[in-house]
Amino acid sequence: MRLRTRLAIAFTLLAVVPLAVVVPPTLSRLRVTLSRELDARMEAAITSAQESLERSSATASRAVEELVDSPAMEDLAREARESPTRAIKAGTAEGLMKSRGLTVLALFDNNGTVLSSGHLPARRGDPDPALFAVTRQKSPKPVPVRVEVRTPSGLRPLPALVTARPVDYGDLRLWAVGGVLLDEGLAQHLARLTQAQVSLMSGDTELASAGEAEPPTLERTLPLGEAASVRFVFSRAAANEAEQGVMRAFLLLAGLGGAFAVLLGLLVARWMTRPVEALTEGARRVAEGALDAQVAVEASGEVGELVRTFNRMTGELKATTERLVASERIAAWQEVARRLAHEIKNPLTPIRMSLETLLAAQEARHPRFPEMFKESAGVVLEEVDRLRRIVDEFSRFARMPKPQLASVDMGELVQSVLSLYAAPPEGIQILPALQTGVVAKVDRDQLTQVLVNLVKNAEEAMKEKGGALRVRVKGTEADAIIEVEDSGPGIPPEHRARIFEPYFTTKEGGTGLGLAIAARILQEHGGKLDVGGEPGQGARFIVVLPRAEGLGPTRLRAE
Ligand code: ADP
């Protein structure tokens, strides 16, 4: 991974990790706080609902009290003493009920028979045991009971808070039982008060309901004796929304922070790594051969010093290398000249000696002169031939023709070279492993010369003891590779650097030009010749050529 990327990632982590650490606990704390707040709000709402219920029951209680103590009631009781049914008519209770702001009122005789009912006039003359039972409860406060009332959908028991008071006149005792119905109106009032959905329940039956609660919701129940209960449904939506709002804000913050950090990281990383990248690029160029590569980048401090040093170094490197190459070339040619001179000198001695012998023989009028002449002429011709061979080889080495490139399948080429060795020398086994389809652009004749040379060397190396000659062709993505490996004595380390030099030979009668020419041919092809193998276990020569695309049909026709 590039330095710049790594720096950018580090900056991003630096920005995002603290957020990631802080956000979850903050959110859970917020959640707890919000739900605690909601709990408190619900408790408060229920308390105020309870107070409101108590207030209305107190009001109802007072109203019944006042009614019982009113002169009108006293008059009614007096009249009723003479004739109850005449004094108390069907509509009496309703009038009294409405004038006192009550929603339930029944007047009973002491036996529990309804004399008049405000909330259910039809009950007159019948007993109402459920409501009359209140008279036996000594509670000063209204008690919750179920009261039957007429509704558009027929008779229905509705919960009510009622209280009972006796009305005594002499020996007559009447009962006034009155209070308030827990009806739609109350539900609406409680819903407004608590901001919740309020249902008045009788057991599991919902009698009245008001208000709305958006889901998700929470429920609380306020029991009102056995007769009824009030169910409050509170919405959690607002709390959830608040939580989500905070969450969104945090995420936005994290996103923005992250993006900002990445941007900043990239900028800083760019600023910091630009000189380093330029230096890396410069070093790469130097490695590729641009020895005088200069790095043009502004930098201060140690990096700036490094850049200046690099530039100075490469500046000197080119000049030094050029000097070195020039002197190496001179040295190489001097060596070549020295050896060539040596090679030429060798035949000159026998030529001179032959001629001297002839001259002496002629002077002395040697009787065998004609035979001697023939013999010496043979020697001279042989040595002259040798001289010509030396000069031919040298000129071949000195000015090699430019390669005529064509796409050649290496496997096929090696096969054709090996076919020259259909009958290898005694004791030598040829083992080819040739991959086909490995194609390179080569001069067929020159490459044949290289391979012939390598195979010849390998055979010569195994001449004494025999062995196996392994020839492989294989391809990597970029290269075509030919390996020629023998099981001969191998190349001692001290010779390794020298075997490619012209005229280096360890063989009687060797020219020492074979490998030098092979290396040069491969160099001209943009490839190289490497040597491997362990000394004592054989030598391995590796031909590496740039691989060309496969032999397409058009290419075949073009050639
Ligand atoms: P020549 O074969 O005329 O000596 P080359 O340039 O072909 O010239 O070889 C140079 C030298 O490299 C050889 O004299 C020999 O010492 C060494 N050499 C080349 N091939 C092999 C091989 N397969 N095994 C061992 N030595 C080798």
pLDDT digits (tens, 9 = 90+) for 30-73: 888 888 988 998 999 999 988 988 888 898 899 999 998 988 88
Q: Is any ligand 1 atom within 6 A of the Cβ of residue 488?
A: yes
Q: Is any ligand 1 atom within 6 A of the Cβ of residue 457?
A: yes
Q: Would you give the DSSP letter of residue 266?
A: H
Q: How far is CA 92 from the centre of its chain?
A: 86
Residue 283: inside a domain, yes or no?
no
Q: How far apart are the first and last CA of the chain?
A: 46
Which pLDDT belongs to residue 201?
86
Q: Comparing 384 with 552, which gets the higher pLDDT?
A: 384
Q: Which helix (H) or strand (E) holds 537?
A: none
Which pLDDT belongs to residue 476?
92
Whether omega for the bond prior to residue 350 falls within 30 degrees of 0, making it cis, is no
CA pair distance 479, 384, nearest whole angstrom? 44
The CA 328 to ligand 1 mean position distance, Å, reads 23
Which pLDDT belongs to residue 381?
93
Q: Comparing 476 with 14, which gets the higher pLDDT?
A: 476
Q: Which atom of ligand 1 is nearest to the CA of 515?
A: 6
C-alpha distances (whole Å) from 164 to each of 77, 179, 310 are 16, 9, 110
Residue 554 has pLDDT above 60, yes or no: no
The CA 447 to ligand 1 mean position distance, Å, reads 18
Tokens describing residue 371: 């035979």
Q: Comparing 305 with 80, which gets the higher pLDDT?
A: 305
Which pLDDT belongs to residue 556?
40
Residue 63: inside a domain, yes or no?
no
Q: What is the CA radius of gyration of the chain?
A: 60
The CA 383 to ligand 1 mean position distance, Å, reads 24
Tokens describing residue 477: 């993505």
**Does one domain contain both 545 and 416?**
yes
Is this structure's pTM higher than 0.95? Answer: no
**Does one domain contain both 343 and 375?**
yes
**Does one domain contain both 369 and 415?**
no
Residue 252: inside a domain, yes or no?
no
Binning pLDDT at 50, 70 and 90, where does residue 559 land? very low
Binning pLDDT at 50, 70 and 90, where does residue 550 land? low
DSSP-based three-state secondary structure for 51: helix
Q: Which helix (H) or strand (E) holds 309?
A: helix 301-363
Q: Which of 399, 420, 447 corresponds to the end of one domain?
A: 399
Average pLDDT score over residue span 294-306:
86
Residue 329 has pLDDT above 80, yes or no: no
**Does one domain contain both 516 and 413?**
yes
Average pLDDT score over residue span 430-459:
93
Average pLDDT score over residue span 154-170:
87
Which pLDDT belongs to residue 551?
54
Q: Is any ligand 1 atom within 6 A of the Cβ of residue 539?
A: yes
Residue 136 has pLDDT above 60, yes or no: yes
The 10s digit of each residue's pLDDT in 450-499 is 999 999 999 999 999 999 999 999 999 999 999 999 999 999 999 988 89
Q: Is any ligand 1 atom within 6 A of the Cβ of residue 499?
A: yes
The 10s digit of each residue's pLDDT in 412-428 is 999 999 988 878 888 99
Tokens describing residue 245: 């709002």
Q: Which of 26, 60, 538 is nearest to 253 (CA)?
A: 26
CA pair distance 517, 500, nearest whole angstrom? 8
**Does one domain contain both 105 and 145?**
yes
Q: Is any ligand 1 atom within 6 A of the Cβ of residue 517?
A: no
Average pLDDT score over residue span 372-398:
87
CA pair distance 16, 22, nearest whole angstrom? 10
Q: Which of 155, 181, 207 corresponds to the end of one domain?
A: 181
Binning pLDDT at 50, 70 and 90, where does residue 301 land? confident
CA pair distance 75, 15, nearest whole angstrom? 88
Residue 60: inside a domain, yes or no?
no
The CA 458 to ligand 1 mean position distance, Å, reads 8
Q: CB neighbours (10 Å) of residue 427? A: 11
Residue 217 has pLDDT above 60, yes or no: yes
Which pLDDT belongs to residue 215?
84
Q: CB neighbours (10 Å) of residue 495? A: 13
Q: What is the CATH number of the domain that holds 452?
A: 3.30.565.10
Tokens describing residue 284: 């790469």
Question: In sequence order, what E strands does 255-313 have?
Answer: none
Which of 144-153, 261-270, 307-316, 444-453 is least confident?
A: 261-270
Q: Is any ligand 1 atom within 6 A of the Cβ of residue 503?
A: no
**Does one domain contain both 426 and 343?**
no
Residue 16: inside a domain, yes or no?
no
Tokens describing residue 120: 């259910």
Q: Which helix (H) or strand (E) holds 145?
A: strand 143-151
Q: Which residue's entry shows tokens 């025999």? A: 466
CA pair distance 518, 541, nearest whole angstrom? 11
**Does one domain contain both 419 and 391?**
no
Q: Is any ligand 1 atom within 6 A of the Cβ of residue 487?
A: no
Q: Which atom of ligand 1 is nearest to the CA of 511?
A: 3
C-alpha distances (whole Å) from 26 to each of 13, 31, 37, 75, 193 are 20, 9, 16, 72, 33
**Does one domain contain both 367 and 410?**
no
The CA 370 to ligand 1 mean position distance, Å, reads 43
The CA 336 to ligand 1 mean position distance, Å, reads 17
Binning pLDDT at 50, 70 and 90, where does residue 555 land? very low
Average pLDDT score over residue span 385-393:
86
**Does one domain contain both 350 and 481?**
no
CA pair distance 160, 56, nearest whole angstrom? 11
200 in Cβ contact with 183 (< 8 Å): yes
Strand-pair partners of 435: none
The residue contributing the CA closest to ligand 1 atom 26 is: 491
Q: Is any ligand 1 atom within 6 A of the Cβ of residue 521?
A: no
The CA 397 to ligand 1 mean position distance, Å, reads 16
Q: Comparing 16 with 315, which gets the higher pLDDT?
A: 315
Among 486, 500, 505, the mutation site with the greatest number of ligand 1 atoms within 8 A of its Cβ is: 505
Q: Is any ligand 1 atom within 6 A of the Cβ of residue 511?
A: yes
The CA 416 to ligand 1 mean position distance, Å, reads 23
Strand-pair partners of 161: 144, 180
Q: Which atom of ligand 1 is nearest to the CA of 486?
A: 23
Non-local (6+) Cβ contacts of 360 within 8 A are 366
Q: What is the CATH number of the domain that holds 382?
A: 1.10.287
Residue span of the structural domain in which 314 resides: 291-399
Q: Is any ligand 1 atom within 6 A of the Cβ of residue 180?
A: no
18 in Cβ contact with 141 (< 8 Å): no
Residue 377 has pLDDT above 80, yes or no: yes
Q: Is any ligand 1 atom within 6 A of the Cβ of residue 514?
A: yes
Average pLDDT score over residue span 383-392:
88
Tokens describing residue 439: 């194609």
Residue 242: inside a domain, yes or no?
no
Q: Is any ligand 1 atom within 6 A of the Cβ of residue 486?
A: yes
CA pair distance 390, 46, nearest whole angstrom? 121
Which pLDDT belongs to residue 140?
78
Q: Which atom of ligand 1 is nearest to the CA of 517?
A: 6
Per the structure, the count of domains in the chain is: 4
Phi/psi at 375 (5° precision): -60, -50
Edge-to-edge strands of the sheet including 197-202? 205-210, 197-202, 228-235, 217-224
**Does one domain contain both 445 and 548?**
yes
CA pair distance 514, 450, nearest whole angstrom? 8
The CA 545 to ligand 1 mean position distance, Å, reads 21
The CA 64 to ligand 1 mean position distance, Å, reads 134
Residue 209 has pLDDT above 90, yes or no: no
Which of 99-103, 311-315, 335-339 is least confident?
A: 335-339
Residue 194: inside a domain, yes or no?
yes
Strand-pair partners of 517: none
250 in Cβ contact with 19 (< 8 Å): yes
Q: Which atom of ligand 1 is nearest to the CA of 513?
A: 6
Which pLDDT belongs to residue 525?
92
Q: Which atom of ligand 1 is nearest to the CA of 453?
A: 7
Among 336, 484, 499, 534, the mutation site with the greatest number of ligand 1 atoms within 8 A of its Cβ is: 499
Which pLDDT belongs to residue 104?
92
**Does one domain contain both 169 and 298?**
no
The residue contributing the CA closest to ligand 1 atom 21 is: 457
The 10s digit of each residue's pLDDT in 75-102 is 888 888 877 777 788 788 888 999 988 9
Q: Which atom of ligand 1 is nearest to the CA of 516?
A: 6
Average pLDDT score over residue span 243-268:
82
Q: Which residue's entry shows tokens 């496969």? A: 550
The CA 461 to ligand 1 mean position distance, Å, reads 8
Residue 272: inside a domain, yes or no?
no
Average pLDDT score over residue span 325-340:
79
Among 515, 517, 520, 540, the mutation site with the greatest number of ligand 1 atoms within 8 A of its Cβ is: 515
The CA 406 to ligand 1 mean position distance, Å, reads 29
Tokens describing residue 258: 């992250």
CA pair distance 480, 442, nearest whole angstrom? 11
Q: Which of 217, 160, 209, 157 is nearest to 188 (CA)?
A: 209
The residue contributing the CA closest to ligand 1 atom 23 is: 458
Residue 553 has pLDDT above 50, yes or no: no
Average pLDDT, the chain: 87
The CA 481 to ligand 1 mean position distance, Å, reads 20
Q: Is any ligand 1 atom within 6 A of the Cβ of residue 504?
A: yes
Which pLDDT belongs to residue 184?
84
The CA 454 to ligand 1 mean position distance, Å, reads 9
312 in Cβ contact with 294 (< 8 Å): no
**Does one domain contain both 421 and 537?**
yes
Average pLDDT score over residue span 251-265:
82
Q: Which helix (H) or strand (E) holds 428?
A: strand 428-434
The CA 512 to ligand 1 mean position distance, Å, reads 7
